């Protein structure tokens, strides 16, 4: 269970790497649209991120799980993994689109391949391809096999979801609720796009006054169909009110030492969702840390869809269910004003539920940690006031590294606002007493091989010197 929790935390941290590029990309993508600034080259920058999310996630997951101090070759292994999978799928079945799920799978395969084959020995004639370079070869072989497997089974998954989407149409408010629930629930697997395709682009038919026929909720609404928009209105409640409420809950629940950092990340995530409909920066920050919270989020999304259906709110979008589309489409929508009071109610529902559960169940969302202490504990809200006895950071880093068993015993290391976090290969060689003698304020062990050294804000300088020693 300890290893499982550690791996889940690693996955969550790995997800934050590509997520870091999303907020700005989402904003500039929206600003570049035809109905805004109409600057195609600006939109190209945003599409460079959202058009390659599978690649970004593959690299991020690989970096997160690869056991190496230098992440360059693992990152290249992750890229080769997703590139091989996509190229293979294009041969096996060009219609298959696995989305972000392909990136996550590729990242995990790449990390496993690197960790298992990075020390592979070969005959001398092939020695150039041995060691860290060997995973580059192996991952292409493994992902070719993956392409064949997923190329054969994925069409059945896609067809099943498409058929299920058609069944939802005749279920009224319940069908809309299930659609929004599954729309959110399937995001981690990249399958929500499969479900969306039928509803967005094929559901229903409308003949315009000029005789032109339009299909799909999005297309029919924009072209004047008064019956369109029931399947889309709930998204405005989620994107404009639900996601910002989650951000506020995560910020308020964060430990005091981390709130400045969390405020920036969650504030950006809330603004991105409200302005540009991009929710991944927020959702990926907690979906793997707490699946329970994510299921609740999906349930609330479904509930929002049902409420909007029952109040006969019909509004659609071209870019996304954000404030811009809300204002642009307000005049052609049905009962759009009701989204505001409904949104406020759901904001409160989201905030109270998330804040209560995060605090009550001690869920390690951004800015929080679930840790077990062995050598004493210090109040987290006091850590920013701590200071080291010695200001010779190079000396302190050198002594810390020696106490951890030298750089050959370091599997991973990084820092947060006040702590040096180190994962070692062999905990038996770590001199914990020596670490405490260096004047640090405490040591915490989340697991058998993971250490958190409480230093204070000076950890930034210690980490810089620690990295230099690891690179030597």
Give the pLDDT confidence score for residue 143 in this predicted structure.
93
Give the pLDDT confidence score for residue 383 in this predicted structure.
44
Residues 6+ apart with CB under 8 A from 24: none
Q: Largest Cα–Cα distance in the chain?
A: 83
Q: Concatenate the DSSP letters of all residues of 157-182 into one string.
A: HHHHHHHHHHHHGGGHHHHHHHHHHH
Give the pLDDT confidence score for residue 24 in this predicted structure.
67
**Residue of 316, 334, 229, 327 lying closest to 275 (CA atoms):** 327
Q: Which residues of the chain have pLDDT under 50?
A: 370-387
The 10s digit of each residue's pLDDT in 226-269 is 888 899 999 999 999 999 999 999 999 998 877 887 888 888 88
Give the pLDDT confidence score for residue 20 in this predicted structure.
64
Give the pLDDT confidence score for residue 375 in this predicted structure.
39
Is 416 an annotated catalytic residue?
A: yes
As a whole number, the mean pLDDT across the chain is: 82
Pair 344, 337: CB distance under 8 Å: no
Give the pLDDT confidence score for residue 50 in this predicted structure.
67
Name the CA dihedral angle for 86, 91, 95, 100, rounded to a multiple of 10 degrees. Answer: -10
The 10s digit of each residue's pLDDT in 309-329 is 999 999 988 667 889 889 888
Give the pLDDT confidence score for residue 376 in this predicted structure.
41
Give the pLDDT confidence score for residue 4 in this predicted structure.
59
pTM score of the predicted model: 0.58
Q: Concatenate the DSSP letters of all residues of 298-344 into one string.
A: HHHHHHHHHHHHHTT-B---SS-SSHHHHHHHGGGSBSGGGHHHHHH
Q: With helix as H, strand as E and coil as C, how does 344-387 read?
A: HHHHHHHHHHHHHHHHHCCCCCCCCCCCCECCCCCCHHHHHHCC
Q: What is the CA radius of gyration of the chain?
A: 25
Residues 6+ apart with CB under 8 A from 334: 226, 229, 312, 313, 314, 315
Whole-angstrom distance, CA of residue 465 vs CA of residue 459? 10
Whole-angstrom distance, CA of residue 216 vs CA of residue 254? 42
Task: Render the burial of 155-181: b for 16+ CB within 10 Å, e for the rest.
Answer: eebbeebeeebeebeeeeeebbbbbbb
Q: Go through the domains of the chain in sequence order and give each one's CATH number.
A: 380-471 (3.30.1360.60)
Q: Which DSSP letter does residue 439 get?
A: T
Whole-angstrom distance, CA of residue 293 vs CA of residue 283? 10
Q: Which two tokens stand for residue 400?
A: 């810390």
Give the pLDDT confidence score for residue 332 in this predicted structure.
83
Q: Which DSSP letter does residue 297 get?
A: H
């Amino acid at each position: 269970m300890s290893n499982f929790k550690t791996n889940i935390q690693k996955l969550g941290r790995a997800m934050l790497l590509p997520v870091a590029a999303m907020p700005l990309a989402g904003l500039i993508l929206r600003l570049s649209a035809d109905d805004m600034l109409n600057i195609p080259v600006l939109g190209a920058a945003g599409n460079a991120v959202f058009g390659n999310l599978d690649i970004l996630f593959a690299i991020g997951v690989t970096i997160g799980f690869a056991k190496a101090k230098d992440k360059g070759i693992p990152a290249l292994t992750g890229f080769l993994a997703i590139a091989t999978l996509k190229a293979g799928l294009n041969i096996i079945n060009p219609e298959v689109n696995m989305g972000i799920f392909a990136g996550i799978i590729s990242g995990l395969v790449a990390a496993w391949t690197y960790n298992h084959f990075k020390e592979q020995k070969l005959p001398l004639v092939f020695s150039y391809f041995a060691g860290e370079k060997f995973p580059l070869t192996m991952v292409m072989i493994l992902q070719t096999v993956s392409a064949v497997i997923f190329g054969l089974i994925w069409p059945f998954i896609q067809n099943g979801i498409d058929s299920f989407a058609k069944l939802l149409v005749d279920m009224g408010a319940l069908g809309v609720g299930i659609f929004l629930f599954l729309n959110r629930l399937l995001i981690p697997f990249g399958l929500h796009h499969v479900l969306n395709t039928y509803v967005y682009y094929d559901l229903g038919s409308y003949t315009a006054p000029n005789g032109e026929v339009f299909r799909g909720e999005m297309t029919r609404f924009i072209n004047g169909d008064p019956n369109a928009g029931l399947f889309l209105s709930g998204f405005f409640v989620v994107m404009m009110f639900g996601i910002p409420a989650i951000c506020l809950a995560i910020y308020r629940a964060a430990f005091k030492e981390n709130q400045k950092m969390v405020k920036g990340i969650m504030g950006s995530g809330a603004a991105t969702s409200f302005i540009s409909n991009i929710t991944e920066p927020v959702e990926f920050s907690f979906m793997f840390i707490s699946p329970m919270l994510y299921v609740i989020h999906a349930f609330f999304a479904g509930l929002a869809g049902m409420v909007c259906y029952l109040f006969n709110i019909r509004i659609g979008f071209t870019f996304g269910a954000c404030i811009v589309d809300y204002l642009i489409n307000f005049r052609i929508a049905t009962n759009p004003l009701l989204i505001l009071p409904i949104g406020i109610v759901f904001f409160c529902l989201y905030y109270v539920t998330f804040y209560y559960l995060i605090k009550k169940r001690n869920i390690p969302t951004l800015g929080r940690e679930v840790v077990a202490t062995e050598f004493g504990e210090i109040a987290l809200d006091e850590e920013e006031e701590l200071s080291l006895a010695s200001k010779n950071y190079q000396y302190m880093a050198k002594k810390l590294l020696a106490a951890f068993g030298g750089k050959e015993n370091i599997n991973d290391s990084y820092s947060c606002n006040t702590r040096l976090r180190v994962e070692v290969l062999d905990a038996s060689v770590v001199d914990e007493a020596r670490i405490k003698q260096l004047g640090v304020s405490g040591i915490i062990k989340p697991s058998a091989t993971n250490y958190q050294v409480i230093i204070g804000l000076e950890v930034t300088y210690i980490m810089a010197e620690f990295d230099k020693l690891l690179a030597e």
